[in-house]
Chain A
Amino acid sequence: MKGKSVKELTQRIEELEARLVESDQLIEAIKAGEVDAFTVSIDGKPEVYTLQSGDYAYRLLIEEFGEGAVNITEDGLIVYTNLYFTELLGLPYEDIAGSLFTDYIYPGHLGLFYELFARAKKDRSKGEISLLVKDRVIPVYISLTSLRPSLNTVGIIISDLTHRKKQDEVISSYQKNLETKNLELTQSNSELASFTYIASHDLQEPLRKIQTFSNLIMSKDQDKLSAETRDYFDRISSAATRMQNLLMALLNYSRTNNSDSLFVATDLSQLVEEAKDDLAEMLDERHATIHVSPLPTLKVIPNQFVQFFTNIISNAIKYSRDGVNPVITISADMVTFAEMGIIAAEHSDHYWLIRIADNGIGFEQQYSEKIFELFQRLYTREKYEGTGVGLAICKKIIQNHNGFITASGRPGIGSVFSIYLPINKEK
């Protein structure tokens, strides 16, 4: 304002005040609906604002909106359609305006539409229907609103569901696929179980004959045989015996299912005692000590858990270090699923962790999964007897109880078996 006189400045203020009053009056008039149009001078050019142009933003919004928008009379005649809806139908504006909205509805969904339309005339309604244009079915979600009392029409917003439906279809086909796979898996599991049973049962027959005939020969003609031949017969016999043991173990494995077993609330300490009784001779012979901390009472299949403890304890004794009396420690703790570090689809929040630790020969950590596999042995039969089924049965038993079993070992120091049993998850 440099170089301007006080008079000039005062005049400028008065001008501005006058325009302000004018503006206030205009705004009041617009609010009262008294003005249809007004002119504003912008950069010296007059700009006319009418009521129509005042709606411009809203009209633009509807026109350019990313959803279909139509306005239909109460007789169903389309009086307006936005760009998106014409694109959705793939028809020019002229064809759509003036036609019946029902012309574009999939015939099977007309009933549903009339219902929604009837409700919309009173208030508003929403629903899913399909459109049909030139043999193309378009699934849509429509939202209808009566524009009464201002207009005797119904506004409809149409959302294209094609994409979502496709995703739904993909998901449901995945789901079906998964269900089929699951069923197949269950079937193949039960087939495998019955195969294992039949195989191990029927395989025992010829084996029994081999054993019987070889010891029949030995009992009848032992004196006539050379020392060498007798040795061969001993070998036949012991191989057959070993195979019989394997088959018996396999049979036991296949019988370890929970199809007709009862879950009973049982003190696990009691079951450890039963296992100890079963192993009394072995424990005594190997000067083994078992320390058992208080264990929880859980809903388990008792005879399976006795089998579990029997297998795991005898395993610890079998793989004890030369010259070191076996010491086995069994303890229990409560842990959360997060603390377990196990990946599983279905789980409970809390688990009982039962740890069985021994001071045996241990194993390399890389074998921690392998030792639970059927017929897997880490050591030669000559050094440590066994069928390689004991721990596989243990794993199956824990799985029957919706639990997990892991093993960690340190060569020359010992092994720790950890079993996790879900709490508050009844089977």
Chain B
Amino acid sequence: MRYAMAVDTRKCVGCSDCVVACQTENNVPIGYCRDWVVEVTDGTYPQLEMEIRSERCNHCANAPCVRCCPTGASHIVEGGIVLVDSTQCIGCGACIASCPYDARFPHPKGYVDKCTFCEHRIKNGMSPSCVEVCPTKCLYFGDLDDPSSNASVVLKKRKYKTLIPEAGTDPQLYFLI
């Protein structure tokens, strides 16, 4: 099993619903976030292009954050989901420094927090909160080993890229372009 998410940058409008839905679903304290939205505009008026991306932890297959964690709090579970066990995390920040995407943050309670791919929901057959709420339906989630999953289907159909592939983390968040 290999969970992944695909983000359609052509449909995303940057509304940030994914951000606020994640915050409420996962009780992320105000002032923090597990996902965020980036807008890139390129060109000179009126020759312009825009790309909007909803970003979060890439659940890297080769995750530096897991490697550098001294306690094993950062770990990988079935489906390649990278998680932090808050009762094992000492809050040393090594994983935060190691993530090229800045996807992690220190939770005010002390441990490090990040996107969980809403593991508590997907285990119950639901999709992640951000995916479920997105008004443009531009987030696709699923198991890449299952060719019929939403993510597999759309990745087969469309061109895509990942972020900083040269960092060698093998990210599992795909951006449809």
Tell me, yes or no, whether A binds B.
Answer: no
Residues of A within 8 A of B (CB): none
Residues of B within 8 A of A (CB): none
